[in-house]
Structure 1
Amino acid sequence: MVLRETAYAKINLALHVRRRREDGYHELETLFAFVDAGDELAARKAEADRLTTVGPFAQALENPFDNIVMQALGALPRPDGLDVTLEKNLPVAAGLGGGSADAGALFRLVEQAYGLPDDWHARAEKLGADVPACVRSEMAVGRGTGTELEPVENDMAGMAVLLINPLVPVPTGPVFKAWDGIDRGPLPGGSARKIAQEGRNDLRDPAIGICPEIAEVLQALAATDPWMHEMSGSGATCFALYETAEIRDIAAQKLASGHSGWWQMKGLLR
């Protein structure tokens, strides 16, 4: 029997960086949201764990055998091995939590087959700050390094979303390092829609300093009549939200014809 899961693309509707911690990480507050599309994982029981990577961005993974999916397999106890195929549809180092989403989908595959251990959250946290959020892939507020999750009123489910990436990888570390260290205040309270409207992404300017193409993407999205648009995570992917799928589709077609070198993906917020 083949088990299947989508690794839903993660976007940060707001991302407030509050301070640098002594352990080298950053204290942040973010609103996690997930798109109903992303990478695809398929798995079947096997004698030993195995990972095959396919898809348009498979070659971008420097060492698929050291992929976070393999790390996630090693983090979860089970009686059998799993032969996993990862279809890599999301760009790498793109601010979409692609690797974390893959790990989260792997946790759900194991949950389907065997159930998860009671300490799954701690096991996920060791793999990466975004992984616990990606396991459930539900809209949530993240605090600390992003691992402390709080429920939020999701009044944005089903909203049309367009993701655009200029196909320039932007590693997370240098962007956080370029943050100016100024605390610009906490995440707003209220529903997801209110937080998204009133929040900000403190990593946008540092990321643009490293990848100026991000500013061009944001400018292009601003011209498509979105409900809101912003950079996700540490970049370089940007997103725009629209009140209807029709408006989004017109925007996607316009951007595809004017910027054929940009990657794009359409979907709906979960």
Structure 2
Amino acid sequence: MTIKETAYAKINLALHVRRRREDGYHELETLFAFVDCGDFLTARSAQHDSVETIGEFAGGIENPFDNLVAKALSVLPHPDGLAITLEKNLPIAAGLGGGSADAGAVFRIVRERHGLPDDWRERAAKLGADVPACVESVACIGRGTGTELLPVKNDLSGMPVLLVNPRKPVSTGPVFAAWDGVDRGPMPEGTVDDITRKGRNDLLFPAQQFCPEIAQVLEDMNDSDPYRVGMSGSGATCWAIYKTADHRDKAARELAEQEPQWWMMRGNLR
């Protein structure tokens, strides 16, 4: 039996950092959203678990047996082995939760074959703060370190979106460490559209200290007259939402002509 899953790209439509915690993490409020494209996983029955990584960004994973796909397999009970091929289409250290999305896809694969244990949320959270949200991969609000999830009315589902990354990896830890510690207020309430329009990303300024190209990406994307534009997570990937697919595709073509070295992905919000 072969199961195929998309590891949907995660984007943060708002990310409010409230305080540094004593455990070294940060208290935050974020609006998770997901794009209907990303990495792809193919799982087949096997005697033993194995992970093979292919695709444009496969080389960015130093040890394929120590990535989040393998770790997700190790924390989930399953009576038979799974041979998983991971097609890595999302850039590494890009603010898209690529590894977390891959782990979330593994949870869905195991759920389809065998079901998940009752404590799957705790198991997911131990793999990374974004992993619980990536299991269902639907828009939701994250609190705490991002693992306390709340539902939200998604009135932007289906909207065309463009992802752009200047091909500069940005590590999450240093960006959080560079946050100035100023609480700029809570994330607004309301629908996905409300929060996207009124929210912000508190990691934008510290991320630009490590990747100044983010400012150029945002400027060029703003010039394409999007409905809304912002940076995802700790960067460097930026997103732009458009009212029509034609508008998005035109913007993508023009950006590709201006900056052919940038990575881009087109999709729609789930």
What is aligned with 1:268? Answer: 268
Q: What is the deviation of 1:130? A: 0.2
Q: How many residues align?
A: 270
Q: Work out whether 1:70 is the aligned partner of 2:70.
A: yes
**Letter matched to residue 168 of structure 1:** K
Q: Any idea what SS the aligned residue of 1:74 has?
A: helix
**Letter matched to residue 34 of structure 2:** F
**Letter matched to residue 205 of structure 2:** D
What is aligned with 2:26? Answer: 26
What is aligned with 1:209? Answer: 209
Matched ranges for 1:1-270 at <5 A: 1-270=1-270
Q: What is the deviation of 1:40? A: 0.1
Q: State how far apart, in whole Å, the 2-side matches of 1:139 and 1:33 are.
A: 4
Q: State how far apart, in whole Å, the 1-side matches of 2:166 and 2:187 are.
A: 28
Q: State how far apart, in whole Å, the 2-side matches of 1:144 and 1:121 are.
A: 14
Deviations, residues 41-93 of structure 1 (Å, cap 9, x unaligned):
00011111000000000001111111111000000001111000000000000
Q: State how far apart, in whole Å, the 1-side matches of 2:152 and 2:194 are.
A: 11
Unaligned stretches of 5+ in structure 1? none
Q: State how far apart, in whole Å, the 2-side matches of 1:73 and 1:214 are.
A: 35
Q: State how far apart, in whole Å, the 2-side matches of 1:97 and 1:9 are.
A: 7
Q: Any idea what SS the aligned residue of 1:186 has?
A: coil
**Letter matched to residue 251 of structure 1:** A
Q: State how far apart, in whole Å, the 2-side matches of 1:220 and 1:63 are.
A: 35
Q: State how far apart, in whole Å, the 2-side matches of 1:78 and 1:265 are.
A: 34
RMSD of the TM alignment (CA)? 0.4
Q: State how far apart, in whole Å, the 2-side matches of 1:23 and 1:110 are.
A: 31
Q: State how far apart, in whole Å, the 2-side matches of 1:209 and 1:95 are.
A: 15
Q: State how far apart, in whole Å, the 2-side matches of 1:62 and 1:255 are.
A: 31
Deviations, residues 209-241 of structure 1 (Å, cap 9, x unaligned):
110001110011010000010000000000000
**Letter matched to residue 179 of structure 1:** W
Q: Any idea what SS the aligned residue of 1:42 has?
A: strand
Percent of aligned pairs with the same residue?
A: 66
Question: How high is the TM-score relative to the length of structure 1?
Answer: 1.00
Q: Any idea what SS the aligned residue of 1:99 has?
A: helix
Q: What is the deviation of 1:253? A: 0.2
Q: Any idea what SS the aligned residue of 2:149 has?
A: strand
Q: What is the deviation of 1:181? A: 0.2
**Letter matched to residue 150 of structure 1:** L
Q: What is the deviation of 1:187? A: 0.6
Runs of 4 or more, structure 1, over 2 Å off, are: none
Q: State how far apart, in whole Å, the 2-side matches of 1:239 and 1:29 are.
A: 19
Q: State how far apart, in whole Å, the 2-side matches of 1:119 and 1:46 are.
A: 25
Q: State how far apart, in whole Å, the 2-side matches of 1:64 and 1:175 are.
A: 25
